[in-house]
Structures are given as structure tokens and as C-alpha cells.
């Protein structure tokens, strides 16, 4: 008997919730009882009775109410429903709580559908920006987590070295470059003979804008061919930042010779020639990049340099 009474009490509470939640959702949307009634094809008197707790919607009407307010049927029975101006903003809240990429995809699709409809507000534009800002933070944190996972492994190889430099670059892009530099200085001072430490410190110096220090560190360094090739690349990029273009190209050509399996020095030369307005030489540099990529089967990666080649030729013709 007690159990039955408690169940009855619970049911009564849920029925009271629905009227209160319908009123809250309606007022947030600035919808009158008449407008809601017309939208779901019932009388406005029925809406008034729901909100006053005199009656509750029948089971056939619940899906229409939930769809109208962009909530679930279960939401209508909750003690306190979250009222959102549309389903896109509701899905934004879901993603904010879950950090699940699938929830981001659903929210992103809903916002795009909303924008395509033309029925959106400036606040919806703001909310879409927030959605992508959250995604940016979550992707950043996930990327750093993966880098740390690789670096925590005992195995040391070229992947480890690459990931370490990539992590330094990423930290510099999110305002933590000085932190990365301090870490790499400490590691280098502890083991300066370690080529990985040398490359990492060079990367940290470069991405924090210490170009003269990069050149000082790279000068006269001896090591394996791969290490020398990467250092030559950094030296070339540092010279480019300092406006010492002739030296930059000398370093890049050396990098391409020492590490022929990398295209970075070729890209650096093409970008630098573009900055100098030497469009004929730039076009030739992009052709060199494309030949390097196609020769190794990197078909999709050719799209960007092909577009840059097209633009360089256009500028050359227009000039």
C-alpha cells in the first residue's frame, strides 16, 4: 500500500512538472498560448489547463509539444526543464557537458540547418562561434594528450623526435612557448650531446622568435645527416625571418640535399620567393614541390601547391 501511494505521488509530481515546463518553455520562446495551440493543433484552453495543472497533455500530443520546443518528451517531465531558444543551442549545451565529438557533429549539423533556414538570430551566430571554440579547446587538449602519450613511451626514434618538435610548435601557438623553451633548455643542458635535445631546443628557440640564437646553435654543429638537415632547415627559416634571404636559400638547399625525404625546405623556398614578389622563381619552386610530392605518390597533398602555382603564374602574367 505504501509503495502504491509513493508511486501515485511520483506520478502526480511528474504531471505537475509538465504544465510548469510547458509554461516556462513557452515564455522563453515568447510564444502565446494561442500560438502554441495553433502550432500543435489543439485549443488554447487546453494549453491553459495544462499550465494551471488542471489537466495534462495526452500521449499523442506529447511528441508534438516536445518537437515544437526542441526538447525530448522526458525533458517535459523533469522537475526543471532547460529552456533553449532552439535545438541547435540545446545540442551546444549537450556538447559542452560531454566533450564527445559525435555531440559536436550533431550540434554543428543543427546550426547549419538553422542557418540554411534563415530563421536565426545574432545570438545563434554567437552560439555557433562558442561551439567551435569549445571544439578547438577539446581538439587542442586531445592533441597534446596524444603527443604526451608518444613521448612517455621508452622507445626513442624519429617519430619521438618529430612529435617533440610538433608539441613545441603547438605550445607556442597557444601562448605557452616560453614554457616549452624552459623545458627544452633544461633537457639540453642535462644532455647536450643528445641530437634529439639539440633539435628540440632549436625548435623552441625558433618558435619563440629567437632567430639569432637559432643560428648560433646551428653553426658548426656536427652530427648525423638527418640532424644536420633539420638544423639547416631551421637556420634557413631563421634567416628568412631576419631578412637574410641569400643565406636562407643556401641553408634550405643544404637541407634539401642532406634530407631529401623531406619537402619542408622546398615549401620554405616557395613561400619566401612569394614574399619577395619573385613570381617567376616562385612558380618554378612550386613546380619543384609538386614534382617531389607526385614522385612519392602524395596525390592529395598536391592540391595546395598546384593552387599556389596557378596564382603565381597569374601574378606573373598580370605583372
Q: Give the mean model confidence (pLDDT) for residues 255-269.
A: 94
Q: Give the mean model confidence (pLDDT) for residues 173-184.
A: 97
Q: Does 15 score more than 70 pLDDT?
A: no
pLDDT of residue 299: 92
- What pTM was estimated for this model as a whole? 0.74
Give how far Cα 45 sits from Cα of 37, 42, 48, 50, 223, Å.
Answer: 8, 8, 5, 9, 86
* Torsion from C-alpha of 97, 100, 102, 108, nearest 10 degrees: 50
* Residue whose C-alpha cell reads 550533431 in the numeric block: 106
Q: Does 262 score more than 60 pLDDT?
A: yes
Give how far Cα 211 sits from Cα of 175, 218, 242, 243, Å.
Answer: 18, 11, 7, 11
Query: 237: buried, middle or exposed (CB in 10 Å: 19+, 13-18, 0-12)?
Result: buried
pLDDT 10s digits, 24-65: 888 877 889 999 999 999 998 999 999 898 899 998 899 998
Greater confidence, 97 or 206?
206
pLDDT of residue 17: 85
Q: Are residues 166 and 205 in the same domain?
A: yes
C-alpha cell of residue 37: 495551440
**Count: domains in the chain:** 4
Q: What value does the mean pLDDT of the chain take?
A: 90
Look at residue 69 and tell me if it is in a domain: yes
pLDDT of residue 225: 62
Percentage of the residues of the chain whose pLDDT score is greater than 70: 92
Q: Give the mean model confidence (pLDDT) for residues 169-182.
A: 97
C-alpha cell of residue 74: 522526458
Phi-psi region of 141 (alpha: psi -120 to 50; beta: other; left: phi over 0): alpha
Please give the residue range of the domain that contains residue 246: 158-254
Q: Give the mean model confidence (pLDDT) for residues 254-262.
A: 92
What lies within 8 Å, CB to CB, of 243 at 6+ separation is: none
Point out the domain boundary residue: 83, 109, 125.
83
For residues 57 and 61, give the distance between their C-alpha atoms in angstroms, rounded to a whole number: 6
Q: How confident is the model at residue 70 (pLDDT cuts 50, 70, 90)?
A: confident
pLDDT of residue 8: 41
pLDDT of residue 12: 45
Count of other CB atoms within 10 angstroms of residue 289: 21
* Torsion from C-alpha of 103, 104, 109, 111, nearest 10 degrees: 110
Q: Give the mean model confidence (pLDDT) for residues 125-133.
A: 97
C-alpha cell of residue 279: 613570381
Query: Where are the alpha helices (H) located in 221-302, listed in sequence order?
Result: 225-241, 245-258, 264-275, 279-295
Greater confidence, 70 or 152?
152
**CATH classification of the domain holding 188:** 1.25.40.10
Q: Are residues 169 and 248 in the same domain?
A: yes
Q: Give the mean model confidence (pLDDT) for residues 148-171.
A: 94
Count of other CB atoms within 10 angstroms of residue 104: 22
Q: Are residues 79 and 133 in the same domain?
A: no
Look at residue 135 and tell me if it is in a domain: yes
Q: Are residues 172 and 239 in the same domain?
A: yes
Amino acid at each position: 500500500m505504501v509503495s502504491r501511494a509513493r508511486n501515485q505521488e511520483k506520478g502526480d509530481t511528474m504531471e505537475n512538472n509538465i504544465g510548469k515546463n510547458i509554461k516556462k518553455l513557452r515564455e522563453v520562446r515568447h510564444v502565446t498560448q494561442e500560438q502554441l495551440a495553433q502550432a500543435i493543433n489543439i485549443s488554447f484552453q487546453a494549453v491553459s489547463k495544462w499550465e494551471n495543472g488542471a489537466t495534462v497533455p495526452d500521449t499523442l500530443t506529447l511528441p508534438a509539444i516536445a518537437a515544437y520546443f526542441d526538447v525530448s518528451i522526458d525533458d517535459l517531465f523533469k522537475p526543471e526543464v532547460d529552456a533553449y531558444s532552439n535545438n541547435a543551442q540545446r545540442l551546444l549545451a549537450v556538447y559542452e557537458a560531454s566533450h564527445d565529438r559525435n555531440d559536436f557533429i550533431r550540434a554543428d549539423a543543427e546550426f547549419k540547418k538553422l542557418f540554411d533556414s534563415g530563421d536565426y538570430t545574432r545570438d545563434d551566430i554567437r552560439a555557433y562561434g562558442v561551439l567551435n571554440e569549445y571544439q578547438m579547446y577539446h581538439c587542442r587538449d586531445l592533441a597534446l594528450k596524444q603527443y604526451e602519450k608518444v613521448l612517455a613511451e621508452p622507445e626513442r626514434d624519429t617519430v619521438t623526435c618529430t612529435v617533440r618538435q610538433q608539441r613545441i610548435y603547438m605550445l607556442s601557438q597557444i601562448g605557452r612557448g616560453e614554457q616549452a623553451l624552459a623545458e627544452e633548455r633544461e633537457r639540453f643542458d642535462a644532455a647536450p650531446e643528445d641530437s634529439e635535445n639539440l633539435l628540440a631546443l632549436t625548435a623552441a628557440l625558433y618558435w619563440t622568435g629567437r632567430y639569432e640564437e637559432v643560428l648560433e646553435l646551428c653553426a658548426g654543429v656536427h652530427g648525423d645527416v638527418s640532424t644536420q638537415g633539420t638544423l639547416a632547415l631551421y637556420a634557413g627559416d631563421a634567416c628568412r625571418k631576419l631578412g637574410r634571404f641569400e643565406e636562407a636559400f643556401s641553408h634550405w638547399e643544404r637541407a634539401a640535399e642532406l634530407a631529401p625525404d623531406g619537402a619542408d625546405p622546398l615549401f620554405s623556398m616557395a613561400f619566401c620567393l612569394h614574399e619577395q614578389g619573385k613570381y617567376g622563381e616562385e612558380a618554378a619552386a612550386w613546380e619543384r614541390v609538386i614534382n617531389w610530392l607526385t614522385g612519392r605518390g602524395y596525390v592529395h597533398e598536391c592540391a595546395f601547391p598546384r593552387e599556389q602555382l596557378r596564382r603565381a603564374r597569374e601574378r606573373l602574367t598580370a605583372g
